[in-house]
A and B are shown apart, each in its own frame.
Chain A
């Protein structure tokens, strides 16, 4: 049986929660789950949680042991046992620290490619380095006007759909991973013979006008003709926040 939390246990739980949130905010851990802009708020809320824990201990100590059986301790018994559930996000963050959303969610969600407001100028010559979302938007909605006959590099992770078709994917984030949506590029050309889902790749190659439809939502998916593929480490921020506004 789990008793209701008393003030000491609550203070401990609040402190741990605050420390975990601070830890996630100070390292890159939070980028797996929320957008980078939320960081100041995360740090602030972590500090408030720790201050609350400190204040709880302080007032408990000042009230002294004698008055503990008065009206106030009765109140402590009414703290709901649902508060125990706050230990779950603690365990999840400290012990497991689940990875950023990957190929599983990418293949279960339709591509979120949207017509962009405009196309910023690209450098005149030399190899191009584009994001998955930028390449897809230019290929689909700009008919690849500035992409033809250029060497292009794109970085993303690998996802294989039910039929084994390889995609290069980047998830976009608006607020947190719950609203993350993928943008997909289908790969053709010199694809490595063995592709592990969730491997991060930098593919270099050319634009091709060939297109297909996302099997999940019929969204447009452009193709990319791969000439070379190299494994790269997971970027600091695994999500793409540029294309989603």
Chain B
């Protein structure tokens, strides 16, 4: 299933004669549905050899994890996409201008704390943050929201409390560390961020169309777009889950510094939903609480699945700078929080 990187036909054509263009449209209209049908039929025809090729235990476990990640994330993605379409179509930009403090240094912590009201995992927050930026919210504030929402909402905090019955201090530690990282990244973006790193919205404005058309157009676009990147992230996460041996974790658990780094990297690789990561952290009993806090703080902010989705929504130039900075900051802040609170 190779994806070519060449631009779609016609994208580079100078505005030629209208007739030629219409003709091109017609053939294109035939092409991609036809191609979709052909792909589907071919897959059905060759399902037996494909199944046999996938019978090895590694492949089966890979596929199960891949399907599971997609299936688990899809409802939250759809929820986020509906919310972002509602923001894009029904909430006027003036609302955010009034709701958020005018100075973006103040808007950052307000938006970060507002993340507490979006109950869901990280797949929902990416499209919503994208809609906020398009709606004129300062990127610094929208990014603080993007980072804090999956980590500090009530569902995730409750799950953390349930997973660590013997260590209730994990809940405030997770809340404080996540909010600190989110605000710090917002302020950092405000100081150093450049607008040209953010890709301009890839979609034409919906003005001049009916609200219904605009709403469903936005939903369709976001599901196709973010869904594609979700699949990329799910493949990466499934590969690492199947390939990474659990033994190297044991080696890292001994040293305090190495253990924090190891669990932070593991959080990136595993790409577990933020509602479930506390249970996985709780089972990593050979690691210190601080190292497990790093796992819980890094996971909802930076992971393979999120990176693919951020690159899709905000552009690769943005994701390549944003994700490593967030990772470094999250590791430092959770080490400090762990030293103070745990």
Contact = CB atoms under 8 A, between A and B. Distances in A.
Interface of A: 1-14, 16-17, 21, 24, 30, 32-34, 38, 41-42, 44-45, 48-49, 52, 55-56, 59, 68-69, 71-75, 77-89, 91-93, 95-96, 98-105, 108-110, 112, 114-115, 117, 174-179, 181, 216-219, 244-245
A52 B228 contact: no
B286 A217 contact: yes
B168 interface: no
Contacts of A178: 65, 68-69, 72, 237-238, 241, 270-273
A175 to B, nearest CB: 3
15 contacts: A5-B32, A5-B224, A16-B40, A30-B71, A49-B223, A52-B223, A55-B212, A81-B3, A83-B228, A89-B70, A95-B43, A117-B165, A174-B275, A175-B272, A216-B246
A211 B77 CA distance: 44
A179 B223 contact: no
A147 B79 CA distance: 47
Contact of B63 (A14, A69, A92, A108): A92
Contacts of A5: 32, 36, 224
Given A32-B64, A81-B3, 18 more contacts: A1-B6, A4-B8, A45-B79, A77-B28, A80-B312, A82-B225, A87-B1, A87-B40, A89-B234, A93-B71, A98-B60, A104-B60, A109-B246, A174-B280, A176-B72, A177-B68, A178-B272, A245-B159
A56 B272 contact: no
Contacts of B77: 45
A83 B223 CA distance: 9
Interface stretch (B18-26, B97-105, B131-139, B173-181): B18-26
Given A81-B3, A91-B43, A245 B36 contact: no
B203 interface: yes
A175 B273 contact: yes
Contact of B11 (A24, A45, A49, A77): A77
Nearest to A32: B64
